[in-house]
Amino acid sequence: MATITLEHVTKVYPNGFEAVHDLNLNVADGEFMVLVGPSGCGKTTALRMVAGLEDITAGSVSIGERVVNDVSPKDRDIAMVFQNYALYPHMTVAENIGFALKLRKVPKEQIKQKVIEAAELLGLTQWVDRKPGQLSGGQRQRVAMGRAIVREPSVFLMDEPLSNLDAKLRVQMRAEISRIQRRLGVATLYVTHDQVEAMTMGDRVAVLSAGRLQQCDTPQNLYDHPTNLFVAGFMGSPAMNLFEAVVAEGATQLFIGSQAITLPSELHAVRPTLKSYAGKSIVVGIRPENLPLTDNARDSESTASPFEGHVELVEALGSELLVHFTTDAHAFEITEVMDSNAAGLADGTLTKGDAGVARVEAHTKIAAGERIRFWLNPERLHYFDRATSELIV
């Protein structure tokens, strides 16, 4: 058992491109840590530096108590699972799982026992004599997991192992991998671009953008308390609504477009800094589930203010409705921090529109073309500095 520690890790390629900037991260013994971010954000590069497949420009990587910067990949006591399973097509499942042990010249009886144990853990017992071509995608992924498990490594590294599976199988395999990792209790660094995958699997989640760590926390804290606009817009499905807003003089009201939201004294007690933004433009974040329609919301939350929109589309998902609406306020969509030195609403960070989305009860009577009224509780909103993109606390 071991930990994974990255201290001030930076990767700069010969052409000058900085893929990872000053990354500090610690994966505790037995912890499942997920690295998440859009394509090209540096998450796979970070994983490959831990594996020894990429040289480190600056900083250090430790596995357990040992700094491994100059240790070859085969001597780092790691097991890596890739998105392409890399199974030998001419070998059976059992032979694929035990191949690494065979190379180490482990006795045959010991290999057989370890293969049996791994197959039982992964639910592969009845397929051990089949070849990869006779297996489904999920079964092949389990074989790749089994090949890693039998090595009994200090840490697991997983690079988007579910990206080649269909949607239903991905959900099933998310649960399988989580179950296996918890049973084995091995520190795991898992890379994905899918924030739903990150939220459902990770003990903690590290969000990267443009090679920089934006926030690292538990999935729930990332969702409830994003520290900047990128994390706010990236974590959650549907994404958080982000609207341009103006704090009125005296900070007693917030204007989202032409609509005034009352800011109660209780809010200022929690966010005293908000008063310093009086007369200034900020960005306000609203989770889709925090846009209730019913009068019950107004009655139960005395600080709620009406917020209206025009319904453009209603998506019925069975358990809920997603109501897409427009307002006269500028809305923003997070794309990517293109410049690693940029902050706030730099080019490429946000794209403008006027649309939002609300999550409402499944049997709500609502149709495209209607004018709709929500009830906003200002204490459930997220307030961000437009210049820095940081949360106003």
Distance of CA 355 to the CA centre of its chain: 23
CATH of the domain at 267: 2.40.50.140
Q: Is 391 part of a structural domain of the chain?
A: no
Do 197 and 321 reside in the same domain of the chain? no
pLDDT band at 334 (very low <50, low <70, confident <90, very high): confident
Angstrom distance (rounded) from CA 40 to CA 63: 25
**β-strand pairing of 371-376 with 305-316:** antiparallel
Does residue 329 fall inside a structural domain?
A: yes
Average pLDDT over residues 203-207: 97
Whether the per-residue pLDDT at 218 is higher than 50: the answer is: yes
**pLDDT at position 297:** 54
* Residue where a domain terminates, one of 230, 264, 292: 230
Q: Is 65 helix (H, G, I), strand (E, B) or coil?
A: coil
The answer to whether position 267 is within a domain reads: yes
Query: For a pLDDT cut of 70, what percent of the chain falls above it?
Result: 93
What's the domain count of the chain?
A: 2
Q: Tell me if 378 sits within 8 A of 262, measured CB to CB.
A: yes
Q: How many other C-beta atoms are found inside a 10 Å radius of the C-beta of residue 67?
A: 13
pLDDT at 343: 43
DSSP reduced 3-state for 374: strand
Round to whole Å and give the CA distance between 58 and 21: 9
> Which strand (E) or helix (H) includes residue 217?
strand 212-217
392 domain-assigned = no
- Count the alpha carbons within 13 Å of 117 in the hemisphere toward its beta carbon: 13
The pLDDT of residue 301 is 60
Q: For residue 161, is it within any domain?
A: yes
Torsion angles phi and psi, residue 161, rounded to 5: -70, -15
Give the pLDDT band of residue 45 (cuts 50, 70, 90).
Answer: very high
Same domain assignment for residues 32 and 104: yes
Question: How much is the pLDDT for 338?
Answer: 41
For residue 249, the model assigns a pLDDT of 92
Of 55-64, 165-174, 189-198, the least confident:
165-174
pLDDT (mean) for 92-119 = 92
Mean pLDDT computed over 19-39: 96
Percent of the chain whose predicted confidence (pLDDT) is above 90: 73
Please indicate, yes or no, if residue 375 is contained in any of the structural domains. Answer: yes
Domain, as residue range, for 297: 234-385
- The answer on 178 and 46 residing in a single domain is yes
The answer on 319 and 295 residing in a single domain is yes
Return the pLDDT at 167: 84
DSSP string, 247-314: EPGGGSEEEETTEEEE--HHHHHH-GGGGGGTT-EEEEEE-GGG---SHHHHHH-TT-EEEEEEEEEE
Q: How far apart are CA 309 and CA 312, in angstroms?
A: 9
Question: What pLDDT, on a 0 to 100 scale, did the predictor assign at position 17?
Answer: 95
Tens of pLDDT along 239-290?
Answer: 999 999 999 998 899 999 999 999 998 888 888 999 999 999 999 999 999 9
pLDDT band, very low/low/confident/very high, at 90 (cuts 50, 70, 90): very high
Q: Do 242 and 201 belong together in one domain?
A: no
Task: Verify that 220 and 154 share a domain, yes or no.
Answer: yes
Q: What's the rounded mean pLDDT across residues 310-320?
A: 95
pLDDT in tens, 286-301: 999 999 987 655 555 6
Average pLDDT over residues 126-147: 91
Q: And the tokens for 53?
A: 């497949």
pLDDT of 198 above 80: yes
One domain for residues 147 and 124: yes
Same-domain check for residues 246 and 333: yes
Q: Cα separations (Å) of 202 from 128, 175, 207, 240, 297? A: 30, 11, 12, 20, 33
| Whole-number Å distance between alpha carbons of 48 and 39 | 15
Q: Is the pLDDT of residue 173 over 90?
A: no
Q: Can you tell me the distance from the alpha carbon of 170 to that of 178, in angstroms, rounded to the nearest whole number?
A: 12
Final residue of a structural domain among 201, 230, 259: 230
In three-state secondary structure terms, 393 is: coil
Q: pTM of this prediction?
A: 0.89
Task: Say how many CA atoms lie within 13 Å of 213 toward its Cβ.
Answer: 18
CATH code where residue 159 lies: 3.40.50.300
Q: Is 60 among the domain residues?
A: yes
What is the model's pLDDT at position 156? Answer: 95
- Compute the distance between CA of residue 258 and CA of residue 274 in angstroms, rounded to an integer: 20
Q: Using a CB cutoff of 8 Å and minimum separation of 24, what contacts does 161-167 make?
A: 161/81, 161/82, 161/83, 161/190, 162/83, 162/192, 162/197, 163/83, 163/192, 164/83, 164/84, 164/137, 165/137, 165/138, 165/141, 166/137
Instruction: Indicate whether 123 belongs to any domain.
Output: yes
Residue where a domain stops, chosen among 197, 230, 263: 230
Give the model's pLDDT for residue 390.
94
Same domain for 284 and 202:
no
| One domain for residues 85 and 132 | yes
Question: Within this chain, do residues 65 and 153 fall inside the same structural domain, yes or no?
Answer: yes
* pLDDT value of residue 372: 94
Residue 306 backbone dihedrals phi, psi, to 5 degrees: -70, 145
pLDDT-derived band at 351, boundaries 50, 70, 90: low
pLDDT band at 336 (very low <50, low <70, confident <90, very high): low
Q: What is the mean pLDDT of the chain?
A: 90
In a shared domain, residues 313 and 242? yes
